[in-house]
């Protein structure tokens, strides 16, 4: 259904009143509060569907205090209204934004520091697939792990939204990229995006293959579990392992002697709960470095599928099936 936004004061949101599967998601209508000082309201063109959304739906990832109600961590759209003190944005400007919540909506809200002009060269709807993945890759691969041109990056989950973005950003930066993925079709999609090597983890001994081809200087891992010890075994001296999720579990046993002898670093981060000022600093770095890559055609969002907001359960079922390559979007 199309919401009545003629007065601009209502919006749909998506919540999970009780933890569960995709069927637990519910669409509600809320009165729209005015933007707070330093806040931007965005008329949503599309919203990205991400793994943390599924974790929140299942009750494993509660929103931080003060987050907007509802699921959704990234949107594209046009500025609807700005709060006191916001500069550089006016009603109607095309933008993208990283959110603490509430992106599955007709109108979303974001702190101005997490809002960026929509990049050149990407349709506004597709641009919804950029903020969460680009901010995450920049923070973890470039900032925390300090990937350098010429280094070897291994990305697990290469066909995911994070993975497809990491491939392109790392290649634009001049790194060598290897990925793992679960089907030959996903591996082919990764190669098409520039991956130097794509390994089907269901068929190949990916750890042995990476080690034989020169190891890895940086590994971006969203799997955890038994992958962690394998990752440490193939990292080169002074290598960095960055954890951003743990689909196979967060509790592992590792050999600390290996860390000491090879001077390895294990790090990781989350974005959602970080202070607005830190997110604004990330946004500024992304605008300076990554937005020119996008304008030059070196980085683009790979869109797997687009669902109407009313079909949000189907979008989450697609996410849960882990058969997608690239980003899943919701369109109000």
Q: 132-149, pLDDT tens digit by residue? A: 999 999 999 999 999 999
Q: Is the pLDDT of residue 267 over 80?
A: yes
Rounded-to-integer distance, Cα 295 and Cα 268, Å:
29
Compute the distance between CA of residue 39 and CA of residue 81 in angstroms, rounded to an integer.
Answer: 9
The pLDDT of residue 95 is 98
Q: Mean per-residue pLDDT for 116-127? A: 97
Give the contacts of 197 (CB within 8 A, at least 6 positions apart).
Answer: 177, 178, 179, 209, 213
Closest CA to 136 of 105, 111, 164, 110: 164
Homologous superfamily of domain range 145-268: NAD(P)-binding Rossmann-like Domain (3.40.50.720)
Answer CATH for 10-129+276-330 from 1.10.3210.10, 3.40.50.1950, 3.30.450.20, 3.90.180.10: 3.90.180.10
Sorted by where each begins, the domain ranges of the chain are 10-129+276-330, 145-268
Q: What is the DSSP secondary-structure string of 230-291?
A: HHHHHEEEEEEEEES--TT-S-----HHHHHHHT-EEEE--STTS-HHHHHHHHHHHHHHHH
Q: Which residues of 143-172 are buried (b: 16+ CB within 10 A; e: fewer)?
A: ebbebeeebbbbbbbbbbbbbbbbbbbbbb
Question: pLDDT-based confidence at 247, cuts 50/70/90?
Answer: confident
Which residue has 């919203």 as its token pair? 47
Asked which of 172-176, 263-267, 319-323 is least confident by mean pLDDT, the reply is: 319-323
Contact at 8 Å (CB) between 68 and 21? Answer: no
Residue 195 and residue 168: Cα distance in Å, rounded? Answer: 8
Model pLDDT, residue 8: 57
- Share above pLDDT 90 across residues of the chain, in percent, rounded to a whole number: 95
Q: What are phi and psi of 215, to 5 degrees?
A: 70, -165
- Give yes or no on whether 10-129+276-330 and 145-268 have one common fold: no
Average pLDDT, the chain: 95
pLDDT at 4 over 80: no
pLDDT at 3 over 50: no
């Amino acid at each position: 259904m199309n919401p009545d936004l003629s007065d601009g004061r209502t919006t749909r949101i998506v919540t999970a009143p009780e933890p569960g599967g995709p069927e637990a998601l519910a669409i509600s209508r809320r009165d729209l509060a005015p933007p707070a000082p330093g806040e931007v309201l965005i008329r949503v063109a599309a919203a990205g569907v991400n793994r943390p959304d599924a974790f929140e739906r299942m009750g494993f990832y509660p929103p931080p205090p003060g987050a907007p109600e509802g699921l959704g961590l990234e949107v594209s759209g046009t500025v609807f209204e700005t709060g006191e003190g916001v500069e550089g944005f006016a009603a109607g400007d095309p933008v993208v934004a990283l959110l603490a919540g509430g992106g599955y909506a007709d109108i979303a809200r974001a702190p101005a520091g997490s809002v960026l002009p929509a990049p050149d060269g990407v349709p506004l709807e597709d641009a919804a697939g950029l903020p969460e993945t680009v901010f995450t890759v920049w923070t973890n691969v470039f900032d925390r792990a300090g990937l350098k041109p010429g280094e070897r990056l291994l990305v697990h989950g290469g066909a995911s939204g994070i993975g497809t973005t990491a491939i392109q950003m790392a290649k634009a930066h001049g790194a060598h990229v290897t990925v793992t993925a679960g089907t030959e079709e996903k591996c082919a999609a990764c190669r098409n995006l520039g991956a130097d090597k794509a390994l089907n983890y269901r068929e190949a001994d990916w750890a042995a293959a990476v080690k034989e081809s020169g190891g890895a200087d940086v590994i971006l891992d969203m799997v955890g579990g038994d992958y962690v010890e394998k990752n440490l075994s193939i990292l080169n001296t002074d290598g960095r392992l960055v954890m951003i999720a743990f689909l196979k579990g967060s509790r592992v046993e590792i050999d600390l002697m290996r860390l000491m002898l090879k001077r390895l670093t294990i790090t990781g981060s989350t974005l959602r709960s970080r202070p607005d000022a830190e997110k604004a600093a990330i946004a500024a770095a992304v605008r300076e470095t990554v937005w020119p890559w996008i304008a030059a055609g070196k980085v683009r969002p790979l869109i797997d599928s687009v669902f109407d907001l009313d079909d949000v359960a189907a979008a989450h079922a697609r996410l849960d099936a882990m058969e997608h390559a690239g980003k899943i979007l919701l369109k109000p």
